[in-house]
Structure 1
Amino acid sequence: MTSATELTVIQVPVSDPRVRPLLRELGDEYSRRYGKDAHAELARYPDEEFTASHGGVLLLLLEAGTPVAGGAFRRHDPHTAELKRIWTHSAHRRRGLARRVVAALEAEARSRGYRRVYLTTGPRQPEARGLYLATGYTPLFDTAADPETIGPLAFEKDLTHVKENTP
């Protein structure tokens, strides 16, 4: 198994063929968890919203060039980047890759002048909720409430007080 230190972070557009397997697996898993086809939700935002002028896509790759984790952000407002499509391939989980993706996205958003990050995750994604809480995100919902009664779980993070942590 390749260690997380042997990974390379590259920026690619959503249209890059290396992104497709991650988005396909992401859509399949969301569809299983929520009982409806989630692929349309993933396609809801036009690819242009994830281009350099609006946001970005970062993809972690193994040395051999195989995509193992990725994520993207888009402009939420002039000061806020919205993280989207954070995903780790099922064969590469529990290795800290999602943390690296989030850190890379935050660093890139900060370098583009964003001061805040916003994101939502679904109520049936406890591992994502745990990741965001563990990485300093502030929940914008009652954490004691049943997640199923809330709907999308929103989080935010102020980037102006975050120390530079390059993945």
Structure 2
Amino acid sequence: MARRLIKRWFPDPHKVRNHKHLRFFGTLLHDPNLWHLNRHSVSDAFAIGLFMAFVPMPFQMIPAAALAIYLRANLPISVALVWITNPVTMPPISYFCYLVGTWILNTPPQPFAFEPTWDWIAWELKRIWQPFLLGSFVVASLTSLAGYWSMRGLWRWHVIRDWERRKNRPPRVR
């Protein structure tokens, strides 16, 4: 059931392969694992998408897509999960990553007053780049592992539940 629901939301692989902006990938997009919903490709996609969501860089979808293609993971799921960090959620997630980094480095968090200017961003990043990057890497790694193992566990639970239902179902008359 979940597979059918997810497939309904997926883009058509043929349209994606023939899209004019994606032609530079060539035949790489023709790998069937990039579009299949199986235990391996979905859990790998969750690991890739969640890791790249917490990497502090612009255009996170591009490296997520490249990793999905290289590791033969589900491409749409990898790219979609990057949007966990969007313009609305990015400030609190970045602050959380910074706090994790200060906790690991055992340094006190630096007070700041937000100013929406490039100078302020450059100045603050010079002050906090070490705990921020360390926290981002730790949060990205932990959420990636949690997503990978959660999907593996959910997939296994779903398969076992389906087998139990089939086992308890009365036999069909043909």
Do the two structures share a fold, i.e. TM-score over 0.5? Answer: no
Q: TM-score, length-normalised on structure 2?
A: 0.24
Between structures 1 and 2, the one with greater helix share:
2
Q: TM-score, length-normalised on structure 1?
A: 0.25
Between structures 1 and 2, the one with greater strand share:
1
